[in-house]
Amino acid sequence: MKGKLLPKSCFKLRSCRGNAIVLALAFSAFLLLFGYAAFQLANFFGASEEVRNSVDAGALNVASKSIFLKVPAIKPYDDCVDLVSQIGLTNINRVWGKALLINANVQSMEKESLSGATATKNASSAMAIAQEINDSLFRLLTGTSSLSSMFNQLGSLRHSKMLAGSSSVSATSNTSWPKAALLRGRSSNLTFDQTEIPPDAGVSIPQVSIGNEEFVPGYTPIAANKNFFSFVSFIPGDKPQLVSQSLFEVNRIDTNPIPNIINPIPNGFSATGSVTNTSSGLVATAFGLANPQKQYTLSIPHSYVSIKITNEQDWYVEGNLVAQGQYTLQPLIWHLAPYSNPNAFANVTLKNGAVIHCLARVGGEYAQPVTLWDVLKNGGGDLSSLWPPMVQRIKEIKPDFTANELIALLKSQRITHSSSQYLIYPKYSSGDATNPTITIGPVSSIETAPSFQPGVAGSGNGLWINPPDDDDKQAVLLSNPMASVVSPWIAPAYQPDGIEKLALTQADRKDNPNYDWPFYVSGAPEGTHYAILKSNVYWEPDSGFYQCLGQLRIAHRTNCYFAVIN
């Protein structure tokens, strides 16, 4: 075999050829692989962020929409409801506020020994019913189904484009999402004035000042009447927002409950979502803080203070009580008549043998025009002692109410013959009973003709000499127009749970404005005659459980004396 041998160097050269290409290809392959891995990693992080953003939006939706989970109201909290007569996160603090005021009232009444037999029971009922509403709402807010649907409502609108396919984020349903009581000690959505709490109740509400307003603190148990009351924190001006996991975790109601509070209503919601239709299994959790952005005042919205006038008349002959009765709010002449015949005069025989008929003109203190203020003022005495307890109670309806406003109301209210009871009550222009205007009006209930009780001597009965005219009768027969026209919620026929105490004794008024005279049928006149109008004012505090927060009773008693021998 002939051949030309190539030099060794050429062999070396041939073997070196393509080395750079191989290296470059290998490096390129590495770069491509590295690039692909980096791309996948970037894609994964991007998808992860998409899921986190979606879960954030879902959690925010849960926190924002949680205010729409509501439960029906139970009496007496039907005045704390929204326009659809329900209780939710927005107005649950109103319920607890009313319960707190009722219990503070009862605690005050007990300290003053003015607590009636049913007061303690009413306070307990107020607490129990508020707790029942609270528990219903708590179950609704801590259940997963409603919150999941809120989460999915938004999750379905968002897609994770960076994962395979177009995957939506949906709520995980295998575990219950934790809840939290966030912003403990910060403000609730309930403003208040310390003066609306009965001063002797000993109920201390810490104030959270924001601007010119004082707020009841959130998630801070407040003791009243041996019960504890807690309010949900909602900072005014804030909106529903996301919160950090660390803040949420330390305020979870299952691991860090509110002391002395059963089932505290949460304001913090967590939500866990995952991406469906992918094997990546991306899961994220977010935490939202609810805020209804609506404030109320600590109050008992449907309540009133009552002013009642009672008029009694005693008939004395020769120092003996012979008859008792009541008279109406207009000047009328009365006389004694036998039971058997109301149209006849009852004869009263004196010790000297004389026979007299007893007559009296009473109700002169209500001669028109006269207002409630006049009735009080004409009796004399220091009226200023009457205002503080009344004003305090009206502040439970409208915290900025003043004594001057009360006096103005009393001056504006004319006495009507047909009504012996007047209510100071709120009028609301909004359906959710907020921003009240305090007003006053008569309760025109059916008033029958006065019936006299048999006197000690058992000798007579009362009778109209000049009976009311037809118009008056008609007015008397109107049944409680306030209850059906002015404010449908008012129930003037309440069950008092307080005991009245004497608040003011006014000066006696002799023969003016009421007076009497005898008509001698036979025999010689004996002694003198005169009439004395005595006036006492009583104050009865009530709890507000049955709407009535208290009653001022102006008690007039006219004693008619005949044949008085000194």
Please, are residues 226 and 260 in contact by the beta-carbon 8 Å criterion? no
CA distance 102 to 91: 17
- Measured from the CB atom, the residue of 114 and 169 that comes closer to other proteins is 169
Contacting residue, 53, 144, 280, 439, with other proteins by CB under 8 A: 53
CA distance 336 to 519: 11
DSSP codes joined into one string, 53-115: HHHHHHHHHHHHHGGG-EEE--TTGGGS--TTSEEETTTHHHHHHHHHHHHHHHHHHHHTT-B
Using CB under 8 A as the binding rule, whether residue 164 contacts other proteins is answered as no
- Measured from the CB atom, the residue of 43 and 341 that comes closer to other proteins is 43
CB of 91 to other proteins, least distance (A): 9
Q: Which of residues 422-461 bind other proteins (CB under 8 A)?
A: 430-432
Structure tokens at 134: 């609270």
CB of 24 to other proteins, least distance (A): 3
Candidate segments 64-72, 357-365, 448-456, 520-528, binder of other proteins by CB under 8 A:
64-72
Structure tokens at 486: 């002015």
**Distances, alpha carbon 271 to alpha carbons 24, 253, 268, in Å:** 51, 15, 10
CB of 293 to other proteins, least distance (A): 4
Structure tokens at 546: 């049955």
Using CB under 8 A as the binding rule, whether residue 28 contacts other proteins is answered as yes
Please, are residues 436 and 397 in contact by the beta-carbon 8 Å criterion? yes
CA distance 51 to 61: 15
CB of 136 to other proteins, least distance (A): 19
Using CB under 8 A as the binding rule, whether residue 146 contacts other proteins is answered as no
Residue 86, strand partner residues: 72
**What string of H, E and C letters represents the secondary structure of 473-488?**
HHHHHCCCHHHHHHCC
Work out the burial of residue 37: count CB atoms within 10 Å of its CB; fewer than 13 is exposed, 13-18 middle, 19 or more buried. Answer: exposed
Please, are residues 254 and 239 in contact by the beta-carbon 8 Å criterion? no
Using CB under 8 A as the binding rule, whether residue 168 contacts other proteins is answered as no
CA distance 477 to 471: 10
CB of 185 to other proteins, least distance (A): 23
Contacting residue, 5, 17, 113, 279, with other proteins by CB under 8 A: 17
Using CB under 8 A as the binding rule, whether residue 70 contacts other proteins is answered as no
CA distance 287 to 267: 11
Using CB under 8 A as the binding rule, whether residue 33 contacts other proteins is answered as no
Candidate segments 21-29, 102-110, 316-324, 545-553, binder of other proteins by CB under 8 A:
21-29
CB of 217 to other proteins, least distance (A): 21
Residue 109, strand partner residues: none
Contacting residue, 51, 55, 67, 129, with other proteins by CB under 8 A: 67
CA distance 6 to 211: 101
CA distance 229 to 227: 7
- Measured from the CB atom, the residue of 73 and 552 that comes closer to other proteins is 73
Candidate segments 36-44, 254-262, 340-348, 398-406, binder of other proteins by CB under 8 A:
36-44
Which residue type, as a one-letter code, is found at position 476? Answer: V
Q: What is the CA radius of gyration of the chain?
A: 40
Using CB under 8 A as the binding rule, whether residue 5 contacts other proteins is answered as no
Q: How far apart are the first and last CA of the chain?
A: 177
Nearest CA among 303, 545, 549, 301 for reference residue 433: 301
CB of 13 to other proteins, least distance (A): 5
Structure tokens at 116: 């009636």
- Measured from the CB atom, the residue of 45 and 339 that comes closer to other proteins is 45
Using CB under 8 A as the binding rule, whether residue 15 contacts other proteins is answered as no
CA distance 281 to 47: 11
Contacting residue, 2, 3, 5, 20, with other proteins by CB under 8 A: 20
Please, are residues 310 and 420 in contact by the beta-carbon 8 Å criterion? yes
SS3 content of the chain, % helix, strand, coil (to 5): 30, 30, 40
Contacting residue, 92, 99, 130, 154, with other proteins by CB under 8 A: 154
Structure tokens at 416: 């009507």
CB of 19 to other proteins, least distance (A): 7
- Measured from the CB atom, the residue of 215 and 334 that comes closer to other proteins is 215
CB of 436 to other proteins, least distance (A): 15
Using CB under 8 A as the binding rule, whether residue 61 contacts other proteins is answered as yes
Which residue type, as a one-letter code, is found at position 416? Answer: T
Contacting residue, 1, 2, 3, 19, with other proteins by CB under 8 A: 19
Contacting residue, 48, 90, 108, 220, with other proteins by CB under 8 A: 90
Candidate segments 153-161, 308-316, 347-355, 500-508, binder of other proteins by CB under 8 A:
153-161
Please, are residues 559 and 516 in contact by the beta-carbon 8 Å criterion? no
Candidate segments 18-26, 224-232, 346-354, 407-415, binder of other proteins by CB under 8 A:
18-26
Contacting residue, 118, 136, 293, 310, with other proteins by CB under 8 A: 293
CB of 169 to other proteins, least distance (A): 11
CA distance 91 to 172: 30
Query: How many chain residues interact with other proteins (CB under 8 A)?
Result: 49
CA distance 434 to 438: 12
Q: Which of residues 225-244 bind other proteins (CB under 8 A)?
A: 239-241
Contacting residue, 48, 50, 299, 445, with other proteins by CB under 8 A: 50
> Could you list the residues that contact other proteins (CB under 8 A)?
7, 9-10, 13, 16-21, 23-25, 27-28, 31-32, 35, 39, 42-43, 46, 49-50, 53, 57, 60-61, 63-65, 67, 82-83, 88, 90, 153-154, 157-158, 239-241, 292-294, 430-432
